[in-house]
Amino acid sequence: MTIRKKIFLLAGTLLALFGMVVGVLAVIQKLDSDQIGNVVGYELPLSRIVAQFDVDTDRYELNILRALRLNPASADQLKAAAASKQELTDEMRSDVAAAGRLLQQAIQDRSYNAADRVDLARIEGSFKYLSRSLEEFLSVADRTMTALAEGNLWSSQSTLRHSVQTYLKFAAPSPILLIGRPGRSSRGNGSIPI
């Protein structure tokens, strides 16, 4: 074998190795871009929706607490509290619906690998419990506002104690834990004015 053939063989081998490296890098880049696309397309929006939902549940209970502190409340104050409550109700329901749709799209997206899609399906199954609990959570506030409008504050407070139990299903601390019977906190160590 001549030197010329050896040089061509060496150059051809180096070019083949370079081509294989570029091919492997292209495949890895495609996989990485799919993962980044999934994070941007599904996971970040879903995280934003869940965070907003968490904030809205706190704002919702705070709105009810503010209405209870207006005892006796005027018709205008009750109307404003009811309008604020309804706005938050609509926001929470739309957040739950949007998260459900986003999870469905992510589960059906073939750019996720099978294990990730199975995990997303599990999350969606758990998320259905949240949407069921949401309606119970909202009904407690409706009963509280109705009792407040009727002037039955004691009924409002017992409804709020039930709200604490419902709210704990969302696994978040609640400022309502401090409300108990008139003149006593639920912990029995002093009074909290309502």
For the segment 136-171, what is each residue's pLDDT rounded down to a tens digit?
Answer: 888 888 888 888 777 765 554 555 555 544 444 444
The verdict on residue 184 lying in a domain is no
The verdict on residue 23 lying in a domain is no
Cite the beta strand spans of 58-166 per DSSP E: none
| Measured distance CA(81)–CA(65) in Å, rounded | 10
Assessment of whether the complete model's pTM goes beyond 0.75: no
Name which of 107, 101, 102 is nearest 122 in CA terms: 107
The verdict on residue 154 lying in a domain is yes
The whole-number pLDDT of residue 46 equals: 86
User: How many domains does the chain divide into?
Assistant: 1
The verdict on residue 169 lying in a domain is yes
Domain containing 148: what range? 42-178
The verdict on residue 76 lying in a domain is yes
Per-residue confidence at 30, pLDDT binned at 50, 70, 90?
A: confident
What angle, rounded to 10 degrees, do the helices at 153-168 and 114-149 form?
170
H or E element, residue 137 = helix 114-149
Whether residue 54 contacts residue 172, with contact meaning beta carbons closer than 8 Å, is answered with yes
